[in-house]
């Protein structure tokens, strides 16, 4: 079903906007093609069951490379933000895995609303950071174009 991979490739294309503009221009099309190819391979091999694993590996790669690419541009605060998000996400996944291991041994009468609130807060913070980063990347590209035009005149 090529439509599913097309939608996934478009979602991945949106995530590519988190990279610095120069990196995105140079490597973005190739990264998108690679993701589309991997999606088609996973879909052919396992259908819907193959896509979560693709997104997990893509997310891990994204978290590992965003901070590094922003650091190379000289924008150390952005590198710090992405590294912090990666550490928080890794800690959250590790905590979730630990709870999954302990769950069979605990008698849970009802879901813990505090855990739900914390997860909602973390998701909101991550989405806010992603949105702010996209706006910042757009603004920096727009501002750098205006600044170079002024220098030429």
* Domain ranges for the chain: 2-152
Whole-model pTM: value is 0.55
Q: Higher confidence at residue 17 or residue 98?
A: 17
Spatial distance between the Cα atoms of 149 and 153, rounded to a whole number of angstroms: 7
Share of the chain above pLDDT 90, in %: 16
Q: Note the Cα 83 to chain centre separation in Å.
A: 12
Handedness of CA 79, 35, 96, 109 (dihedral sign): positive
| pLDDT of res. 109 | 44
Q: How do residues 42-67 score in pLDDT, each as one tens digit?
A: 989 988 888 888 888 888 788 778 87
Q: How many CA atoms lie within 13 A of 80 on its CB side?
A: 4
User: Does 106 score more than 60 pLDDT?
Assistant: no
């Amino acid at each position: 079903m090529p439509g599913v991979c097309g939608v996934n490739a478009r979602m991945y294309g949106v995530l590519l906007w988190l990279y610095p503009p120069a990196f995105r221009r140079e490597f973005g099309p190739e990264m998108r093609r690679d993701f589309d190819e991997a999606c088609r391979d996973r879909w052919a091999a396992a259908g819907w069951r193959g896509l979560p694993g693709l997104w997990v590996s893509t997310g891990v790669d994204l978290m590992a490379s965003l901070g590094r690419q922003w650091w190379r541009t000289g924008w150390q605060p952005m590198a710090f933000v992405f590294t912090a998000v990666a550490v928080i996400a890794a800690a959250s996944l590790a905590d979730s895995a630990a709870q999954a291991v302990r769950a069979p041994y605990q008698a849970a009468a009802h879901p813990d609303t505090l855990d739900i609130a914390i997860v909602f807060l973390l998701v909101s913070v991550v989405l806010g950071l992603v949105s702010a980063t996209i706006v910042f990347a757009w603004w920096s590209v727009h501002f750098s174009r205006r600044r170079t035009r002024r220098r030429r005149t």
